[in-house]
């Protein structure tokens, strides 16, 4: 069974490297992002931090879902993510690794089916499994008249 879902985001430059992200078709409040100093002003999370947050959040939600599926009622889960940036062969920074540490509020013995749910919860994490596998990204750039200036799909 194939199920396709789509969503859209709109980013609008506010100032310098500050962008307002609007989550189209939802009541979710807008979010401001910014690049880290010295390029930006650190007035919001940068894209690398957003990626690490997305991975950590998705894993936390997947684990919570799995815990509840097996009739557990956990308290507050605490998750920490550490991202490592490294330069690639061309000297450009890339997210090279994301480490995620999830802390459960209770001892393992207090959870039903803990071994089973720990073996499978990562498979349900949309973001983590997508990042691990590599996500296709196509980019187009148009000018104010709507002329196509760049299409990365045509280059690849």
The 10s digit of each residue's pLDDT in 91-102 is: 999 999 999 999
pLDDT at 57: 96
Average pLDDT (107-125) is: 92
155 has pLDDT over 70: no
137, pLDDT greater than 90: no
What's the mean pLDDT in 76-102?
95
Closest CA to 127 of 64, 59, 78, 80: 59
Report the chain's mean pLDDT, rounded to a whole number.
92
Residues in contact with 91: Cβ distance below 8 Å, sequence separation at least 6, in sequence order: none
pLDDT score, position 144: 86
Band the pLDDT of 156: cuts 50, 70, 90. low
Domain ranges of the chain: 1-44, 46-155
Segment 54-72, tens digit of pLDDT: 999 999 999 999 999 999 9
- Residues 151 and 139: their CA atoms lie apart, in Å, by 6
Identify the CATH number of the domain defined by range 46-155. 3.30.300.20
Q: What pLDDT shows up at residue 143?
A: 87
Please give the pLDDT value at position 149. Answer: 87
């Amino acid at each position: 069974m194939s199920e396709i879902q789509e969503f859209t985001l709109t980013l609008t430059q506010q100032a310098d490297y500050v962008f307002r992200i609007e989550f189209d078709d939802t009541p979710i409040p807008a979010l401001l992002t910014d690049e880290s100093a010295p390029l930006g002003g650190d007035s919001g999370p940068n894209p690398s931090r957003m990626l690490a947050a997305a991975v950590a959040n998705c894993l936390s939600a997947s684990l919570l879902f799995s815990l509840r599926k097996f009739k557990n009622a956990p308290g507050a889960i605490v998750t920490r993510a550490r991202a490592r940036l490294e330069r690639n062969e061309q000297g450009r920074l890339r997210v090279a690794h994301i480490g995620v540490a999830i802390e459960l509020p209770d001892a393992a013995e207090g959870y039903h089916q803990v071994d089973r749910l720990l073996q499978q919860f990562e498979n349900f994490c949309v973001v983590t499994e997508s990042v691990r596998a590599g996500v296709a990204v196509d980019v187009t750039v148009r000018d104010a008249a709507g002329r196509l200036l760049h299409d990365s799909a045509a280059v690849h």
